[in-house]
A = this chain, B = another copy of it.
Amino acid sequence: MNLPNIIESILFVHGEPMKVSRLAKILNKKEAEVEEALAILRNNLAERGLKLAQNGGEAALITVSEASGFIQGLLKEEFSGKLTRAALETLAIVVYSGPLPRPEIDFIRGVNSSFTLRNLLVSGLVEREISPKDRRTFIYKPSMDFLRFLGLSKLDDLPEYGEFRKNLEDFSRAETNNRENKENVE
């Protein structure tokens, strides 16, 4: 087992700084072993496009400074305030049908929405919270900032709110049933 590589993968996915003690627990290794592996990883990354940052018993992967100008450019372009068609559609579903989990949004749209939803989250238009029904999943709803921006004090004020909401609910219920039936058959 290549510990430095596995740590690289874990830090990559995790995104935020991670405690060495947590890494040790996940990997079922001693902290000293993890520290050792981190030193190797730091070395492995010496010539690479990512760096290992360590601070106060925490480790994280970060980008190289040479890339920061381009990353700023990417972010500026991505979060310009202009919404793509996919973003508008997803936002509309979250506003009219939320809070709801991602699989339901995907169902309604007929395509996977993870990237679009992610962008809406980062732009602060949408918020997510842990689902009270299933703690392993998130549910998505419009942010307060966004509702304020639209000038809505409550969702009922949205045009055709009741009708659309019912429409979407009926559809996702029918879809779910349909899918379950079909899967039982196969």
Contact = CB atoms under 8 A, between A and B. Distances in A.
Interface of A: 1-2, 4-10, 12-16, 26-27, 41, 44, 47-50, 61, 63-64, 66-67, 70-71, 73-77, 84-86, 102-103, 106-107, 109-112, 114-115, 118-119, 121-124, 127-128, 136-138, 143, 145, 178-179, 182-183, 186
Contacts of A124: 106, 111-112, 114
B6 A49 contact: yes
Number of copies: 2
Nearest to A82: B183
Contact of A112 (B103, B107, B112, B123): B123
A63 B9 contact: yes
